[in-house]
Amino acid sequence: MQEPDRHEPPNFGTERELLETFLDYYRGTLLVKCAGLSDEQLRQRAAEPSTLSLLGLVRHMTNVEQNWFQRIFLNRDVDFVYSGARNRDAEFHDVASASGDQVEEDYLRVCEESRSIGRSHDLEQFAAIEDERDHVTLRWIYLHLIEEYARHCGHADLLRERIDGVTGD
């Protein structure tokens, strides 16, 4: 995978500016953690007994983006890239034949679709369908995705360090 173009969020601004830029910062961070590694390294379960791999994380976040922005927020009939968000963990585990370049291409396309959806709706708008308990707002989706990305990037930090020693934000 290639080193992405990643921008630091501005240090002050409107709610929307900060939510969009922080989320994009973390979309970029996940790719930064993958950049320069071979497919074999990207598939490595580098912190066992955890089953996490960098490639699994990118595939997972692809499904997560589709699930929140397309399925839940817009109630689209989504063709999930990795066998459906309901099929738990297939995106994490079925990485044996996955290619880094293909995973990256699918991920970038899905992120662009999420950006377009997010930009064109009010932060107070409710999702079209319920999650497990209730309807979420777009604001909640942004905040949740920022913290979900950040947490998985924490996983990615340690996976990467154990693969080739590289650290950093």
Partner 1 sequence: MAIIAPPRIEPAFYGPEKSQLEAWLDYHRATLLLKCAGLNVDELRTRSVEPSSLTLLGLLRHMTIVEQDWFQRVFAGNEITLDYDSPSDHNADFNDLASATLEEVEANYLRACAMSRGVVRDAGLDDIAQGADEGFTVDLRWICVHMIEEYARHNGHADLLRERIDGATGD
Residues at the interface with partner 1 (CB under 8 A) = 9-13, 15, 18-19, 22, 26, 47, 49-50, 52, 123-124, 126, 131, 133-137, 139-140, 143-144, 146-158, 161-162, 165, 167
Q: CA–CA separation, 63 vs 40, rounded Å? A: 22
b/e code 83-96 from CB counts within 10 Å (16+ = b): ebbeeeebbbeebe
CB-nearer residue toward partner 1: 97 or 119: 119
Q: Which is nearer to partner 1, 105 or 164 (CB)?
A: 164
Q: Which is nearer to partner 1, 105 or 166 (CB)?
A: 166
Nearest approach in angstroms of CB 107 to partner 1 is 18
